[in-house]
Amino acid sequence: MDQCIDPEFGEDAFRIWQRMKRWVPFIEEPEGDTFCLDLDSGMIVFDKHDWFDGFGEIAGTNGLIVGPSLIDFIRTWGRFSFAPQWFADAPHAASQTHLDWIPVDSRFERQG
C-alpha cells in the first residue's frame, strides 16, 4: 500500500487500515460498502468501499459508527425498513464519528 499513495497521505492511510483489520463485514450494500462489527469496540461501523480513492474527509471518516451494538444497529436500521443507506457514503465532516440516520423515503420510516 505504501507504494500506491503520495507520502503525505501515508500515515493517515495506515492508521485507517490498521483499524479496518479488526472489522468483520456482515452486510454489503449495493455499491460495495459494508456494515462491519468492530472487534475492538463491539460497535457497528460503516466501511466505505472507496475509502482509499482519495484522502480528505471521506477517507478520514471511514468507519462511522452506525450503532453501539448489533442489536441497536438492527433496531435503528429497521426503522428505515432496511433500505440501503446511500447517504452514508457521502462526504462527512472530519470531526463526525457517528452516522446521522435519515429516511431514504418517508413512506418506509417507522417510529422507534
99 or 22: whose pLDDT is higher? 22
Inside any domain, residue 13: no
Instruction: Decide: 83 and 101 in contact? Cβ < 8 Å.
Output: no
- Report percent pLDDT > 90 for the chain: 31
What is the residue range of 104's domain? 44-112
Cell numbers at 65, concatenated: 459508527
Q: How many domains does the chain have?
A: 1
Q: Does the predicted TM-score (pTM) go above 0.95?
A: no
- Can you give the pLDDT at residue 16? 85
pLDDT tens, 11-33? 777 888 899 999 999 999 888 88
Q: Find where cell 450503532 sits.
A: 67
Inside any domain, residue 79: yes
- Can you give the pLDDT at residue 91? 61
Give the 3-state secondary structure of 36-99: EEECCCCCEEEECCCCCCCCCHHHHCCCEEEECCHHHHHHHHHCCCCCCCHHHHCCCCCCCCEC
Inside any domain, residue 60: yes
Query: Terminal CA-to-CA distance of the chain, rounded, Å?
Result: 43
Q: How far apart are CA 76 and CA 46, in angstroms?
A: 14
83 or 75: whose pLDDT is higher? 75
- Can you give the pLDDT at residue 57? 57
Cell numbers at 17, concatenated: 487500515
Instruction: Decide: 50 and 58 in contact? Cβ < 8 Å.
Output: yes
Inside any domain, residue 33: no
48 or 84: whose pLDDT is higher? 48
- Can you give the pLDDT at residue 25? 97
C-alpha closest to that of 20 among 36, 1, 33, 2: 36
User: Average pLDDT, stretch 60-88?
Assistant: 82
Inside any domain, residue 86: yes
